[in-house]
Structure 1
Amino acid sequence: MRAASRVLDTYSLLAYFEGEAGKDVMIEVFRSARDSGRELFLSVVNWGEIFYITLREEGRKRAEEIAHLISTLPIQIIPADLELAKQAAEFKATKRMSYADCFAAALAKLKKAELVTGDKEFRQVDGDVKILWLNP
């Protein structure tokens, strides 16, 4: 039986690429995906957030490099359709979270997947989605 899928958020991927706290957990997340066939998802909104943060903080060359690296990982980029946007909007209306974070939480809820993050903002949806904390 295939292991449950996971949703990655901006925090988790930036921790991985920048060698921050939680990178070791992310290495295990990618190993598990490779070995067990566990699906990994990333909302296109969070992809855009990773790109703009890297562009702003480290420049275009690094942002393009990160975008390329993401494309080499076993991650499915999920477009923002109406169902995802509606669930994200419901989280945004009821939680004190950034809109991009709401998309990650919404994707996890819709996919019935575990959300991988270290961002404490997600504590607000801990009852709505299962969370794998990078740094509990």
Structure 2
Amino acid sequence: MKICLLRGKTQKLKRRPELNHYVLDSYAVLALLGNEPGASRVEKLMLQAQSGKIKLWMSLINLGEVAYIIERRWGVEKLRAMLAYLEATALLLAEVNKDQVLAAAHIKATYTVGYADAFAIALAKQHTAVLVTGDPEYRQLEHQIDIEWLAE
């Protein structure tokens, strides 16, 4: 949290996310793939990324989470189709380095979030991006990152 002193008072400074940078977590991608609530918003973001209006990110760790869930629920053929679909989009898959692993580990140690979720949070912080999700687990981080909540 950033603070400033104005007339002797401590005030929070509003975060200034890059208005054209978004991070999808596993929840958002699963909503899109399962045509669940919020799918239309994620689809719109995908189209905006395709046209170059925004940058849309997802951590490879979150991709792994989506992959195992798809395979477990619907099998390996659906997984292959999902991977082909995502590869054909403008979704930027962020590789993970040591600094990002340690940033995610710190987030996981500090907040009660899933391990893969910690990577989405770290990626949003790295790119000063808006995290797109419907997962209520992120509510505890609303003071740390900008979140766009998908409709339920």
Which TM class, normalised by the smaller chain length?
A: over 0.9
- Which structure shows the higher helix fraction? 1
Q: Note if 1:30 corresponds to 2:9.
A: no
Equivalent residues, number: 135
The CA RMSD over aligned residues, in Å, is 1.5
Gapped runs of 5+ residues in structure 1?
Answer: none
Of the three residues 125, 131, 149, the one matched with 1:109 is: 125
Superposition map of 1:1-136 within 5 A: 3-135=19-151
Q: CA deviation at 1:125?
A: 1.3
Q: CA deviation at 1:34?
A: 3.3
8 Å CA contact retained: 1:3, 1:36: no
Among all aligned residue pairs of Structure 1 and Structure 2, give the percentage whose two residues are the same amino acid. Answer: 33
Question: When the two structures are superposed, what TM-score results if normalisation uses the length of structure 2?
Answer: 0.84
8 Å CA contact retained: 1:15, 1:21: yes
User: What is the CA deviation profile of residues 86-127 of structure 1, one whole-angstrom value per residue up to 9, with x for unaligned ones?
Assistant: 111111001001000000011001111110111111112111
Gapped runs of 5+ residues in structure 2?
Answer: 1-17
The runs of at least 4 aligned residues of structure 1 exceeding 2 Å deviation read 31-37
Deviates more, 1:50-59 or 1:21-30: 21-30
